[in-house]
């Protein structure tokens, strides 16, 4: 079978499974998730063995240490995946919720009810835990999933997907509900992007290149999980102690994530006071600080921040810093260079807090909190499949609800169109 | 200026305008809509004159009577457009609504607030009234709109768009809020589909060919308003008097629309009783009925319905009829041949009514009501930009709310990520 046939078959099996999944009871879905968690724990050794095969190949091919790190599974990570499955089982089932229902003057009752999207494609890189996260969230929300991971993780992904499918089928999850594409040639991914007759939406998770290629070629609707060029603006009325904690957390707590701060904006009235202390603390934590001319006039010895820096998603211990005149200049900077991901203001001013919340157009806008909190668990959505930077369907952390759509239902008693 | 430059400039102006529109007060938007209505009435003669130019050209080119009919404006139609503008002014503004807000254990308040999508592209054919509908709904929901109508309506569309823009700008609507593409070469539309840096979503409204071409080439997310192969299933427990009224209404009241019935499914237990009377009534109204073998055995002289008929969206006084064994066979037929648009059951059975509502996967599912009621006004959404057949973002009639997205807002007091 050639790769395009393989991908087409997997997607078509997922489509078939989706019809069954849409009408499965919550009980069946939950017991499948719990079985899957048990199976992961019981078959830990197999998964780790397959992961070792991927790692050997990765080293042989000279992949970067960062990539190898993301690819590596260990017993603790597997237990976490199993815990994640049980947590998803414990979440409320979004399917069947009547979002709203009302009565029309002609007596008919019109309602909107939550239903699964259908078949969700996930295209992702490296991290084999995405296989578990995506499969569990799609299953709970009644969707079939077509998983297309990177070639570097194929053995790990196959071991995990097999084990999940087998465990699920034992309690009535249909074949095809979790479909892993086992042929990782580029051609296969390209074919997947054209299968709009089987796949309802594709979520690309990975670097800019992956996302651009998917957006360029897909005839299936996509929901991007794109980069985060995130800002914190320390306003003139900020509590500078709080500002220091928030900025430090946003930059240092986990710099490799999309919601980590990349650019710090400081109001000129507090720059003299605030910049030396935060730069000092960041430097001690190993952060390279790059500044605008006014920043460098206040703190000596900093590298100059260039135009390129303002656009940069470092995903690393690097920070660009700019001193601005006022709130409008800060918001103008964010509108020009930001990516609409996560942006924060630190201020005690009521008016300016509300203005920032209203006018900054990002998936999450914060007053007096770290941008690192833009996350499904932190927001209380229970679990997330990622953070959408697309403006339609879902924006920000995508939980179970965002993996559903609605349909209208009408209870009539003979109503006609006049 | 070449056509691609023209389109790019229009889209870029819309992007600029969108930033201003997002923060305009409801009062300004409403007074602009009312001014636009006044201007349409006052400048009726100009619009009709420009429409005559389109009609002359259409006749010269030998366009079909149906197309010419859709293109034709008259004074009554213009008054209706003006009334539509005033109705949109009277609708509640969706922007700024806090959809939900909750408190997290760490004390931060997380909320979801409705904001405009940004720039909405509309690609449409023939009907110049779409220019008014789309412009008014986009303006009210705080979006800029890039309109790309067909070449056959260019004079009408230009007259209308100019007049709306001029009226709006008098009360503070920014230049670019309503951007009509004035060059209708195919190249321009193709360029528009690639302008994802300026346009957030494209809604194609028109025939299958148009929608397929847009879906094929667009790198901008699209929300399809695709065809309706709509069914009514007359169940064994139906009130046959009600069934007759519903079927007649669904087929005859306005056969050229996407929510008109194209296929009638009848339970075998009531076929003998029901088919002769409904076919007789439909025939008297000029409907051509095509039947399956069992239908033709009951009602003599019908043309045979072929496999092609079951897939057909006639948009005309033609109906295909099939006798089925039971509810499951009816639902199987709908799943196989339907387009997921609007489907109805007529029944007095509680269980089967609920089963049909639950399992039929269409944008609107009806019990005991005409499929023709799948409509924004009929559902009480106030006004609609069309009926989405896409499963993400919006499904079914799209009102003002569906032209918005949300962002998360966080009121913190120093919260950090642990």
CA atoms A405, B131, B146, B185: torsion sign: positive
Q: Does the distance separating the beta carbons of A335 and B19 come in below 8 Å?
A: yes
Strand ranges in B94-221 using DSSP code E only, listed in sequence order = 98-103, 109-116, 119-124, 144-148, 178-180, 201-205
Helix, strand, coil distribution of chain A in percent, nearest 5: 45, 20, 30
CA–centroid distance for A226 within its chain: 8
Q: How far apart are CA A22 and CA A10, in angstroms?
A: 18
**C-beta separation of B26 from B92 below 8 A:** no
Cβ neighbours of residue A232 closer than 8 Å, sequence gap 6 or more: A243, A246, A247, A250, A261, A264, A265, A343, A344, A345, A346, A371
Candidates A104, A107, A101, A164; CA nearest to A130 is A164
Encoded tokens for A89: 């089982």
In this predicted structure, what is the pLDDT of residue B1? 80
Q: How far is CA B70 from CA B126, B127, B256, in A?
A: 6, 6, 11
C-beta contacts of B5-9 below 8 A and 24+ residues apart: B6/B181, B6/B182, B6/B183, B6/B188, B7/B181, B7/B183, B7/B188, B7/B191, B7/B192, B7/B195, B8/B191, B8/B195, B8/B198
Q: How far apart are CA B289 and CA B302, in angstroms?
A: 6
C-alpha gyration radius of chain A: 24
CA closest to B247 among chain A residues? A416
Distance from CA of B143 to the nearest CA of A (A): 12
**Which residues face A415 on adjacent strands?**
B369
Encoded tokens for A178: 């979790």
Burial pattern A131-168, b for ≥16 Cβ within 10 A else e, equals bbbbbbbbbbbbbbbbbbbbebbbbbbbbbbbbbbebb
In this predicted structure, what is the pLDDT of residue B413? 98
In this predicted structure, what is the pLDDT of residue A382? 82
Candidates A385, A347, A380; CA nearest to A366 is A347
C-beta contacts of B277-282 below 8 A and 24+ residues apart: B277/B240, B277/B244, B278/B243, B278/B244, B278/B247, B278/B248, B279/B321, B281/B244, B281/B248, B282/B247, B282/B248, B282/B251, B282/B252, B282/B319
B268 CB-contact burial (10 Å; exposed 0-12 / middle 13-18 / buried 19+): middle
Q: How far apart are CA A68 and CA A260, in angstroms?
A: 22
Other residues' Cβ atoms within 10 Å of the Cβ of residue B350: 10
Chain B residues close to A219, C-beta within 8 Å: 215-216
DSSP string, A100-165: EEEE-TTS-EEEEEEEE-SEEEEEE-S-THHHHHHHHHHHHTT-EEEEE--GGGHHHHHHHHHHHH
Best mutation target, A93, A109, A110, A120, to test chain B (most B CBs within 10 A): A110
Chain B residues close to A392, C-beta within 8 Å: 117, 200-201, 221, 223, 392-393, 405
Q: Which of A353, A396, A407 sits opposite B395 (nearest CB)?
A: A407
In this predicted structure, what is the pLDDT of residue B127? 87
What domains, with CATH codes, occur in chain A? 3-223+398-410 (3.40.605.10), 230-378 (3.40.309.10)
* Angle, CA A136 vertex, CA A135 and CA A138 arms, to 5°: 65
Q: How far apart are CA B143 and CA B173, in angstroms?
A: 11
**Which residues, given as ranges, of chain A have pLDDT below 70?**
none
A255 and B CB contact within 8 Å: no
Q: Which of B96, B369, B397 sits opposite A412 (nearest CB)?
A: B369
**Which residues, given as ranges, of chain B have pLDDT below 50?**
none
**C-beta separation of B48 from B179 below 8 A:** no
A76 CB-contact burial (10 Å; exposed 0-12 / middle 13-18 / buried 19+): exposed
Encoded tokens for A410: 């009408």
Helix B268-284 and helix B240-252: axis angle, to 10°?
40
In B170-292, which ranges are continuous DSSP H helix?
186-192, 208-217, 240-252, 268-284
In this predicted structure, what is the pLDDT of residue A207? 82
In this predicted structure, what is the pLDDT of residue A208? 83
Encoded tokens for A53: 């095969």
Q: Give B36's Cβ-side CA count (13 Å radius).
A: 35
A22 and B CB contact within 8 Å: yes
Backbone angles phi, psi at A366, to 5 degrees: -115, 140
Q: How far is CA A69 from CA A54, A61, A127, B140, in A?
A: 12, 15, 9, 50
Q: How far apart are CA B320 and CA B312, in angstroms?
A: 9
CA torsion, ordered B167, B172, B176, B179, to nearest 10 deg:
-30
A378 and B CB contact within 8 Å: yes
In A195-292, which ranges are continuous DSSP H helix?
208-217, 240-252, 268-284
Q: Does the distance separating the beta carbons of A393 and B392 come in below 8 Å?
A: yes
**C-beta separation of A236 from A351 below 8 A:** no
**C-beta separation of A313 from A262 below 8 A:** yes
In this predicted structure, what is the pLDDT of residue B383? 83
Chain A / chain B CB contacts < 8 angstroms: 195
B412 and A CB contact within 8 Å: yes
Q: How far apart are CA B310 and CA B406, in angstroms?
A: 40
Candidates B404, B99, B142, B93; CA nearest to A392 is B404
CA closest to A218 among chain B residues? B219
Other residues' Cβ atoms within 10 Å of the Cβ of residue A213: 17
The secondary structure element, H or E, covering residue B342 is strand B342-346
Q: How far apart are CA A410 and CA A112, in angstroms?
A: 9
**Which residues face B364 on adjacent strands?**
A408, B342
**C-beta separation of A92 from A140 below 8 A:** no
């Amino acid at each position: 079978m050639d790769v395009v046939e393989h991908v087409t078959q997997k997607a078509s099996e997922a489509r078939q499974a989706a019809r069954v999944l849409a009408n499965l009871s919550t009980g069946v879905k939950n017991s499948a998730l719990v079985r899957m968690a048990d199976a992961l724990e019981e078959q830990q050794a197999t998964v780790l063995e397959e992961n070792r095969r991927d790692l050997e190949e990765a080293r042989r091919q000279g992949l970067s240490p960062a990539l190898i790190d993301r690819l590596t599974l260990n017993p603790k990570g597997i237990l976490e995946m199993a815990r994640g499955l049980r947590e998803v089982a414990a979440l409320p089932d979004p399917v069947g919720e009547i979002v709203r229902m009302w009565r029309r003057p002609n007596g008919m009752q019109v309602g909107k009810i939550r239903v699964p999207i259908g078949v969700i494609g996930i295209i992702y890189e490296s991290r084999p835990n995405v296989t578990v996260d995506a499969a569990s969230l799609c299953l709970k929300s009644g969707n079939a999933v077509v998983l297309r991971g990177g070639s570097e993780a194929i053995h790990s992904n196959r071991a995990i997907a097999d084990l999940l499918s087998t465990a699920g089928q034992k309690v009535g999850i249909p074949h095809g509900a979790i479909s892993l594409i086992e042929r990782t040639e580029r051609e296969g991914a390209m074919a997947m992007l054209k299968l709009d007759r089987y796949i309802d939406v594709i979520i690309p998770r990975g670097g800019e290149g992956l996302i651009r290629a998917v957006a360029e070629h897909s005839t299936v609707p996509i929901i991007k999980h794109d980069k985060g060029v995130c800002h914190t603006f320390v306003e003139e009325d900020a509590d500078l102690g709080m500002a220091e904690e928030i900025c430090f957390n946003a930059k240092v707590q986990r710099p490799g994530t999309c919601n980590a701060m990349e650019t710090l904006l400081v109001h000129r009235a507090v720059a003299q006071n605030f910049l030396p202390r935060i730069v000092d603390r960041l430097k001690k934590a190993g952060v390279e600080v790059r500044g605008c001319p006014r920043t460098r006039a206040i703190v000596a010895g900093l590298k100059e921040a260039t135009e390129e820096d303002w656009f940069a998603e470092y995903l690393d211990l690097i920070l660009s810093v700019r001193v601005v005149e006022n709130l409008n200049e800060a918001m103008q900077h964010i509108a020009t260079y930001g990516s609409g991901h996560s942006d924060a203001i630190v201020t005690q001013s009521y008016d300016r807090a509300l203005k920032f919340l209203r006018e900054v157009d990002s998936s999450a806008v914060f007053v007096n909190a770290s941008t690192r909190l833009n996350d499904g668990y932190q927001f209380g959505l229970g679990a997330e499949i990622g953070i959408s930077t697309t403006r339609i369907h879902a924006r920000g952390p995508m939980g179970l609800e965002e993996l559903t759509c609605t349909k209208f239902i009408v209870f009539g008693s003979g109503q006609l169109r006049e």
